[in-house]
Structure 1
Amino acid sequence: MVTIYHNNKCSKSRQTLELLREKGEELQVVEYLKDTPSAEELKVVLRKLGLKPEQVLRKGEQVYKEKFAGKSYSDEEWLQIMAANPILIERPIVVKGDKATLGRPPEKVLDIL
């Protein structure tokens, strides 16, 4: 089972989802803007990615610029911020078993299949 944290408005996310479908993967699609992962769920995904919360922040988003730019937060605080503001989570994130990757570029997900 492959899980993709997906935003249908994002072309890279759509391309990644299509690539996974072409590969015949059994998919769980999580539209994370509607079905937002908790801070604890994000922590598990980030551990699989091998990244810290700040490394998967979309710093170009307006909410980031208005509320969080230039401020320092702990990893736990960032997790809470991301759970409360899911638009800040980079996408797509693809998870298979104990591995995860960002689908940027979409072909990068092939490394974990």
Structure 2
Amino acid sequence: MIKILHNNRCSKSRCGVEFLEASGKPFEIVKYLDETLSAKELKDIIKLLKIKPIDLVRKNEAIWKTEFKNKTLSDDEIVDAMVKNPKLIERPIVINGNKAVIGRPTEKISEII
């Protein structure tokens, strides 16, 4: 089943949900701010996305700027920062089996559904 990691306060995330609804395919919404991801789950998603952990970080978030910017962090430390502060995770993330994309722009979702 298709999953979307979703934050309802984010317009791009809401657009991702609308895109999936329009596709007519069944999907599950994961409210990752409420259902916190484990480090293993986040690492698995990063692997599916084929990116480095730092590429999943929202670097304009205040928490990143005040707590982490200009620090030398390992991949595990970056993952831990996102687990403890899920607002740092880029969104929306759409997962379909062994494929995943960050839905920015929204049309990227069509690559995996």
Please give the per-residue CA displacement for 1:12-50, whole angstroms capped at 9, x wherever unaligned: 100011110110121111111111111100000010000
Query: Counterpart of 1:111 in structure 2: which amino acid?
Result: E
- Structure 1 unmatched runs, 5+: none
Identity %: 47
Provide the TM-score with structure 2 as the length reference: 0.98
Shift, 1:76, TM fit: 1.0
Give, in whole Å, the separation in 2 of the partners of 1:82 and 1:44.
14
Match of 2:102 in 1: 102
- Aligned residue pair count: 113
Match of 1:80 in 2: 80
Structure 1 stretches of at least 4 aligned residues deviating more than 4 Å after TM superposition: none
Give the CA RMSD over aligned residues. 0.6
1:7 counterpart SS class: coil
Q: Does 1:62 align with 2:58?
A: no
Give, in whole Å, the separation in 1 of the partners of 2:76 and 2:97.
24
- Structure 2 unmatched runs, 5+: none
Match of 2:21 in 1: 21
Shift, 1:74, TM fit: 0.9
Shift, 1:77, TM fit: 1.2
Provide the TM-score with structure 1 as the length reference: 0.98
Query: Counterpart of 1:25 in structure 2: which amino acid?
Result: K
2:101 counterpart SS class: strand
Query: Counterpart of 2:110 in structure 1: which amino acid?
Result: L
Bigger shift: residues 85-94 or 18-27: 18-27
